[in-house]
Amino acid sequence: MNNIVILPIVIPFLTGALLVLFPKYVMIQRLLSVLSFLAVMGTAVHLLQQVGGEGIQILNLGGWEAPFGIVLVADTFSLLLVITSCIVALGCLIYSFQSIEWERERFYYYAFIQFLITGVNGSFLTGDIFNLFVFFEVMLLASYVLLSLGGLKKQLRAGIMYVLINIVSSMLFIVAVAYLYAVTGTLNMAHLSVRVAEAGQPDLLTAIALLFLVIFAVKSALLFFYWLPESYSAPPTAISALFAGLLTKVGVYAIFRMFTLIFYHEPGITHSVIAWMAGLTMILGSIGAVAYGNIQKVLAYNIVIAIGFIVIGIAVFQEAALTGAIYYLIHDMVVKTLLFLLGGAMVGLVGTYQLKEMSGMIRNHPYLGWMFFIASFALVGVPPLSGFFGKLLVLQGTLETQFYVLGVIGLLSSLAVLYSTMKIFMNGFWGENQLSKEDEKTSTHGLLLPCTLLICVSLFLGIGVEWVNPYVAAAASDLMNPAVYIEAVLGPA
Amino acid sequence: MKTNNLLLQSVTQVVTFLIFAFSIYLFFAGHNNPGGGFIGGLMTASALLLLYLAFDIQSIKKALAFNYVNIIAIGLIISLATGMVSMFLGGPFLNQYDQYVHVPLFGEVHLTTAVPFDLGIYLVVVAIALVIILAIGEDA
């Protein structure tokens, strides 16, 4: 029992509730929001040290023992994601100080960001499948509000589609939980794992597993990404960057958890379906990223490609590939947010999303330009930068397990990523300078600080592989051995 | 055109108190009988809503000068604080403490910290229902 495990959920929740009380005092709101994220990050790092020393930390809420009460489980995988999501949220928060209009700021904007992080951290830390659903809803309700806050026409149109698709997938989630409960009679993930292993995952449970796969694929834009490009380009930059960094990644986390902890007995069926979905996602995402000439569309399709690539790790189901996938997941959360923020700054300067209508920005904004350049090289996976190590390990895994086709698609999709981001860089920053300082719509004043923060994290992930890797490898080895998780939650068998 | 609402208004003045009393009963019955914070809160909201229906929004706003959005936040904080108290007392988060207390008129009473938790839920439900209805109702 360790009460610190609840703090990454309680701190943003309490802060959000407090912020509702005084929406007009914007400076205090900003200060409290930043302090809350720093506190969460501190507790998560502290927990990570504890997990390193004493093994997986759990908290039985209300003192009820594991299969009967709700249990929160902090293992290395979830803590790494909690820390990363806090860094991402902090970056978006500081970015929004300058870029969000005061009408939005005064209408509970910061409170809803806190509630979004409550849901995200809760999803990462919970050890109960119904509780996972509840935290998904906490996160989604906050994201509905953030998506439509401001009430622009395109926000409302994208909001309707986003809300509809998520309501349908949440309803399917409930149905799947009901099926699973009817078959196994438990909702605790560790206990589910034991029960499913005892039954040997017969066809019925495999069918339920596929239903879960469809649900989390919709949430994480794996193959079912139709809703993503439009809804991620509707809200202001700070919000869409937050969504790009966090929301789909929570779905990916759920896929990882479900298919390493509970449904790992029939990899011939479930994991090969995942492999097909990953391959198709990368191909379709690459087509989208290459096809469009609109900054936000290109970046949105890059999210889709990355999701396909991360999921290879689970499709291959081998320790090296899983390590690589976790490493790439963490890197992608940071870098995708960074790219959205930089893209948003470019769009703000020119006042248009179309690549054709911008050029030569490097003259007035060299720092912005080179940051975009480094970020896109990190995304592609050029060696000293952060994307390289993850991609290398994933590819090593595909080769060792003879998933050659997936490996080749992964490599080719990297080319598509490179082409699409360089298209933005070359169109936007090279060429004739069309805009003088006076013609620019907004300034980049204050926007580059959070981007610098995120790029430092990305560089650290790339150059400091030696420091980060032990944690990532520990997370992957825990995922490959569900017995560790089960023993931490249910006690020695 | 102003219609004469005398009948509706007189009945409302009596019935509102009945509904309110019943909602409080449901709120406290929750531990051993059907009821609890959610249904109690909805019923209180319906009592207040009846007032808004029978009279106009402005005069009820003058009579019940609450900022319902703040009540949502206060309810959340009460529930969360109830959960956090046990953290400072050395127990796990959301631990429940209970005690039998002899209260004069009522005799032996079973008091638990589940009640303040439910009170938070009650406040959130009442306030959310009214915020939704009033926000839609006031939209000219």
pLDDT of residue B2: 64
> What average pLDDT score do residues B34-40 get?
92
Summarised one tens digit per residue, pLDDT across range B80-117 is 999 998 888 888 888 888 888 888 888 888 888 889 99
Question: Is residue A433 over pLDDT 70?
Answer: yes
Partner residue facing A14 (CB), from B72, B77, B87: B77
Query: Is the pLDDT score of A436 beyond 80?
Result: no
For A17, the closest of B73, B91, B96 (CB atoms) is: B73
Token pair listed for A87: 């860094």
Structure tokens belonging to residue A284: 């379709």
Specify the pLDDT at position A371. Answer: 93
Per the model's pLDDT, the better-predicted residue between A62 and A176 turns out to be A176
Domain ranges of chain A: 3-490
Q: What distance in Å separates the CA atoms of residue A8 and residue A37, rounded to the nearest whole number?
A: 9
Percent of chain A topping pLDDT 70: 99
Across residues A349-372, what is the average pLDDT? 87
**Averaged pLDDT for residues A467-482:** 92
Q: How far apart are the first and last CA of chain B?
A: 18
State how beta strands A57-60 and A71-74 pair. antiparallel
A442 has a pLDDT exceeding 80: no
Count Cβ–Cβ pairs < 8 Å, chain A vs chain B: 42
Q: Which residues have a Cβ under 8 Å from the Cβ of B50 and sit 6 or more positions away?
A: B12, B15, B16, B19
For A108, the closest chain B residue by CA position comes to: B69
Across the range A254-268, mean pLDDT stands at 92
pLDDT, one tens digit per residue, over A315-342 is 988 899 999 999 999 999 999 999 999 9
For A79-113, give the DSSP string: HHHHHHHHHHHHHHHHHHHHHS-HHHHTTTHHHHH
Which pLDDT score, from 0 to 100, does residue B17 have?
94
Residue A209 predicted with pLDDT over 60: yes
Each residue of A187-196: pLDDT tens digit? 999 999 999 9
The backbone region for A369, taken as left when phi is positive above 0, alpha when psi lies in -120 to 50, beta otherwise, is alpha
Looking at residue A84, what is its pLDDT? 95
Q: What is the mean pLDDT of chain A?
A: 92
- Please report residues of A whose CB lies closer than 8 A to that of B93: 3, 6, 10, 59, 61-62
Tell me the percentage of chain A whose pLDDT exceeds 90. Answer: 73
Q: What local confidence, expressed as pLDDT, does residue A197 receive?
A: 93
**pLDDT confidence tier of residue A131, bands split at 50, 70 and 90:** very high
Q: How confident is the model at residue A493 (pLDDT cuts 50, 70, 90)?
A: low
Question: φ, ψ for residue A84 (rounded to 5)?
Answer: -65, -40
pLDDT in tens, A63-106: 888 889 999 999 999 999 999 999 999 999 999 998 888 888 88
Burial of residue B18 (number of CB atoms within 10 Å: 0-12, 13-18, 19+)? exposed
What is the rounded CA–CA span in Å between residue A350 and residue A354? 9
| Average pLDDT score over chain B | 89
Task: Measure the CA–CA gap between B75 and B102, rounded to whole angstroms.
Answer: 28
Q: Mention every residue, 6+ apart, whose C-beta is less than 8 A from residue A132.
A: A123, A126, A254
3-state secondary structure of A198: helix
Tokens representing A202 are 């017969």
Residue A309 has pLDDT above 80, yes or no: yes
Q: What is the mean pLDDT of residues A465-471?
A: 90
Closest CA in chain A for residue B95: A62
Mean pLDDT of A45-54: 92
Given CB atoms, is A436 within the 8 Å cutoff of chain B?
no
The reported pLDDT for the residue numbered B1 is: 52
Length of chain A: 493
Point out the residue among A14, A18, A62 whose CB comes nearest to the CB of B94.
A62
Phi (first) and psi of residue B99, to 5 degrees: -160, 145
| pLDDT, mean of residues A288-294 | 92
Q: Is the pLDDT of residue B3 over 80?
A: no
Phi, then psi, of A103 in degrees rounded to 5: -65, -40
**A435 has a pLDDT exceeding 80:** no
Question: What would the pLDDT profile of A138-159 be if each residue is shown by its tens digit?
Answer: 999 999 999 999 889 999 999 9
Would you tell me the crossing angle of helices A109-125 and A7-21 to the nearest 10 degrees?
160
The Cα A283–Cα A414 span in angstroms is 11
CA angle (A474, A480, A483) in 5-degree steps: 95
**A63 Cβ contact partners less than 8 Å away, ≥ 6 residues apart:** A69, B91, B92, B95
- The residue of chain A nearest to residue B80, with distances taken between CA atoms, is A14
Mean pLDDT of A196-224: 92
What pLDDT is attached to residue B139? 66
Q: What mean pLDDT is predicted for residues B42-71? A: 89
pLDDT computed for residue A384 by the predictor: 83
ipTM for the complex shown: 0.92
A21-43 residue pLDDT tens: 999 999 999 999 999 999 999 99
Give the relative orientation of helices A76-99 and A109-125 as an angle to the nearest 10 degrees. Answer: 170
